[in-house]
Structure 1
């Protein structure tokens, strides 16, 4: 059965293994961390576990079908995604569901399921930038034909996300800069993009609708000894969870801080993992994401086409930067944000979009493998007459 499954899955086997490991860890952590939430809602913990399992299975299915599609098709899909994304982000800001003073979610009619539009925006912008940078390589220094369209798309998506979700916008902006560097945009033009991003960031932080929240989080992080206990509550509880976890942890399901952490199943799931599995478990998670980054870099360097390399680079950087940002916040190395741990945190559509990103990376890897096999086959066929 295992051989039959492996025969139908293509691409980097290590990435498939990483996805399976993270999915198993996610099920264990979510089941352990949702006890208090289930109690408050008056339902069984199994209900949240089942819902999360459905999302993981759905994500694996999307990942499988995404990796079967030739990655070159995503160039055309990216145009449609960008056309949909910008109006959708604007709609979310005006009419989206407001949670904690932030409009990040919209409700899908009929199924009554919410999704965070920034997840779609990340996928759209990265694929669009990869396509544009590839298509404009011959005119890459042309300001009017290349630089302005690229800068316009990055700035538009950044500002629309930043007004409600600054941390996600900053990470996506950083990934965009990395893609511009890989795509041979001049240092001068990249400097202009960075300056524009800094101006937009300043405007959002000081004059945006959530400026008070952003300034408060930064102040709490910089001066925790002077902070209001209510505002530093999440960070303090996460530190307690990590401190009491020790080297080997309290064991699966034995967390106590899950009863105090506001979001132990999403934003602070890494703190819960360390509490239950100790520093050993925490370092293992870090190692898994480092291996993921390493395998993705191998795919980027092996890709014969610029679009495939840029696509794999952008998506892999996005996933790993998000992962390390989440873990950094959990251990107190950054101000509190609402960034989930990819494929581990409990989530709805965020798991689905993350799975599609993995599927696209695997599609690039599958293309590399198929070309290598075809090349090897030609070499073998060419050697037969010589041996005769």
Structure 2
């Protein structure tokens, strides 16, 4: 009997020791870790609520299918975060060029041969696991890693147009041009975040304004075409065949619906999202699992999940989600200011900007501030390749934070300049 109890205590002790070793190896900003866990828990609750009726219809009464699917993505995502945060972030500087070189052919392949959903070719299907991935997510991650590397290496010539600006502009333009035909909103967000990163990286403002002016030209053309279409409905062109610009009509229709909401029929998903927000009220909403519009709102578990959050938890719940993302951005900016190496500083800031701006864009669509796009709410929308790439970005950010813990104390690093001009970076 004594031997059995000793064996039991030994097993308990070994399990606690293994748990202690895992926790000791988990480093980085504790606030960011907490935000990730909190958003994952919120995701489980809201995705389960938003997909309950759909799962009941699709799987003959089994309402937990999507819940377990989301749980599996969350577990896989946390593993991705853990393993990437254990890697020294200087390694990502070495793989940035390779990853970017791989992402460009993948974007081109997706554009012409990818899986088409809703007239947009954004996905490729992996043959073995039969899973679709959105290659633009990989391309954005690769682009921001590459830009962070180049900005850290070109600080001495960053004001020069040929030596500093053009080598940074070329990859941005190439990536956005390949994303744009299938996903205009994603391309615009990628370009805007890239220019913001260049501004923080001390690129000349006049060079950035030149690019902004050129980028406004196609946007102005789309707005003009939407206005012309609204004022001349009898002369509306017929939908033509296929090709990389087949979604031009979709862009024009969405801009028209947004510009002339009083005169044209509001898109169905926007109507349902507004109804969900109205149901939620100001304070507590309808309560967890009591959403009404989940049965009518398309993509309630994905693009319009923020509307479901407000419906079930009220405007107070919606404001809490905004606060969580702003806290995440604040912690990442703090990393940027503390990081003694330019590459790590730019990397943490670029990846945090892309996640927070994507979240803001998703929420803006849900409350009808901007036209409808296909942008998800990071770490909250139902899992997929986008969820895993979001976890990869967070893992890299935590890698920077972990390196700061190993480099020195916070007090020692407070005097480090925001953007070191001549700090070496791993090649």
Give TM-score scaled by structure 1 length.
0.92
| Residue 30 (structure 1) aligns with | 47
Q: Name which of 204, 212, 216 aligns with 1:186.
A: 204
RMSD across aligned positions (CA): 1.9
In structure 2, how many angstroms separate the alpha carbons of the residues matched to 1:238 and 1:98? 25
| Residue 31 (structure 2) aligns with | 14
Matched ranges for 1:31-70 at <5 A: 31-43=48-60, 44-70=62-88
SS of the residue corresponding to residue 105 of structure 1 reads strand
Deviations 1:180-210 (A, max 9, x none): 1111111122123223433455678869321
C-alpha contact (below 8 Å) 1:92/1:105 kept by paired residues: yes
C-alpha contact (below 8 Å) 2:306/2:366 kept by paired residues: yes
SS of the residue corresponding to residue 375 of structure 2 reads coil
143-152 vs 357-366, greater mean Cα deviation: 143-152
In structure 2, how many angstroms separate the alpha carbons of the residues matched to 1:76 and 1:112? 31
Deviations 1:129-173 (A, max 9, x none): 000111111222333333222111000001111111111111111
C-alpha contact (below 8 Å) 2:29/2:402 kept by paired residues: yes
> How far off its partner does 1:16 sit?
0.1
SS of the residue corresponding to residue 291 of structure 2 reads coil
Q: Name which of 72, 91, 98 aligns with 1:73.
A: 91
Pair member with larger Rg: 2
C-alpha contact (below 8 Å) 2:294/2:300 kept by paired residues: yes
C-alpha contact (below 8 Å) 2:288/2:312 kept by paired residues: yes
SS of the residue corresponding to residue 34 of structure 1 reads helix
Q: 1:314 to 1:264 in 2, by over 3 A?
A: same
Deviations 1:25-60 (A, max 9, x none): 000111111123223423523121111111111111
Q: Name which of 176, 179, 188 aligns with 1:161.
A: 179
Matching of residue 217 in structure 1 with residue 238 in structure 2: no
SS of the residue corresponding to residue 121 of structure 2 reads strand
Matching of residue 177 in structure 1 with residue 195 in structure 2: yes
Extract unaligned runs of 5+ from structure 2. 1-15, 226-243, 413-427
C-alpha contact (below 8 Å) 1:85/1:121 kept by paired residues: yes
> How far off its partner does 1:5 sit?
4.8
> How far off its partner does 1:251 sit?
1.0
In structure 2, how many angstroms separate the alpha carbons of the residues matched to 1:293 and 1:214? 30
Deviations 1:212-268 (A, max 9, x none): 111111111122222235xx1101100110111112011111111000001100000
Matched ranges for 1:126-275 at <5 A: 126-199=144-217, 201=219, 208-228=245-265, 232-246=267-281, 247-275=283-311
Q: 1:233 to 1:294 in 2, by over 3 A?
A: same
In structure 2, how many angstroms separate the alpha carbons of the residues matched to 1:355 and 1:14? 15
Extract unaligned runs of 5+ from structure 1. 377-388
In structure 2, how many angstroms separate the alpha carbons of the residues matched to 1:4 and 1:28? 30
Deviations 1:320-377 (A, max 9, x none): 000011111111211111100000000311111000100111111111121124997x
C-alpha contact (below 8 Å) 1:162/1:204 kept by paired residues: no
49-58 vs 189-198, greater mean Cα deviation: 189-198
204-213 vs 119-128, greater mean Cα deviation: 204-213
C-alpha contact (below 8 Å) 1:163/1:204 kept by paired residues: no
| Residue 4 (structure 2) aligns with | none
Q: 1:354 to 1:345 in 2, by over 3 A?
A: same
> How far off its partner does 1:4 sit?
5.4
Give TM-score scaled by structure 2 length.
0.84
C-alpha contact (below 8 Å) 1:97/1:106 kept by paired residues: yes
> How far off its partner does 1:95 sit?
0.6
40-49 vs 109-118, greater mean Cα deviation: 40-49
